[in-house]
Amino acid sequence: MSTTEPRRHVLVWVAQEFLESEGMLHILQESGAVPGQEKDWEKIVEACENSGGFALAGTLVDVNHGAGIWISPPGDAGLEIMIPWHSVRSVVTAEEQHQIKIFGLVKELAKKPPVPTTPHSL
């Protein structure tokens, strides 16, 4: 991504091995990428094991990096987390909807209320 492009929202489905790597759950919790306190970690790990992975949301920093995908956790654009490609199961991105501009006659038609229709009997 270039620095002039707006960052896209991203949801990455990550393999459970990534969460189980040494200290990763603590790093993700501290960064705000995974909500909850240490007492919740057992439930998080159990849910991850049951589903075969977990989802991380944030903004996309770099998807073209050879080592993995880089994301920023929600609400912290200054922090970047790299997820190795072998841990990424799927990626979904979205952009915020842009304002659609209407000009001329189309704009005037858009202002008029819809014409009610009645069913015709045969």
Looking at the domain assignment, is residue 87 inside a domain?
A: yes
Residue 75 domain-assigned? yes
Using the predicted structure, report yes or no on whether residue 24 has a pLDDT greater than 60.
Answer: yes
Predicted pLDDT of residue 2: 45
pLDDT digits (tens, 9 = 90+) for 56-98: 888 888 878 888 999 888 777 678 889 999 999 998 888 765 5
Helix, strand or coil, per DSSP, at residue 8: coil
Compute how many other C-beta atoms are within 10 angstroms of the C-beta atom of residue 62: 13
Instruction: Answer yes or no: is pLDDT of 32 > 50.
Output: yes
42 lies in some domain: yes
What SS3 class is residue 3? coil
Average pLDDT over residues 6-13: 81
Residue 24 lies in a domain: yes
Examine residue 116 and state whether it is found in any structural domain, yes or no.
Answer: no
The pLDDT of residue 86 is 93
What average pLDDT does the chain have?
Answer: 75
**Tens digit of each residue's pLDDT (9 = 90 or more) over 36-50:** 777 777 888 888 888
Please compute the mean of the pLDDT values over residues 21-35 and round it to a whole number. Answer: 80
The answer to whether residue 115 sits within a structural domain is no
Find the domain containing 17 and state its range: 9-94
Give a yes or no: residue 85 inside a domain: yes
Q: Does residue 119 lie in a domain region?
A: no
| Separation in Å, CA 29 to CA 2, 59, 63 | 28, 17, 23
What's the pTM?
A: 0.65
Number of domains in the chain: 1
Element (DSSP H or E) covering residue 90: strand 88-94
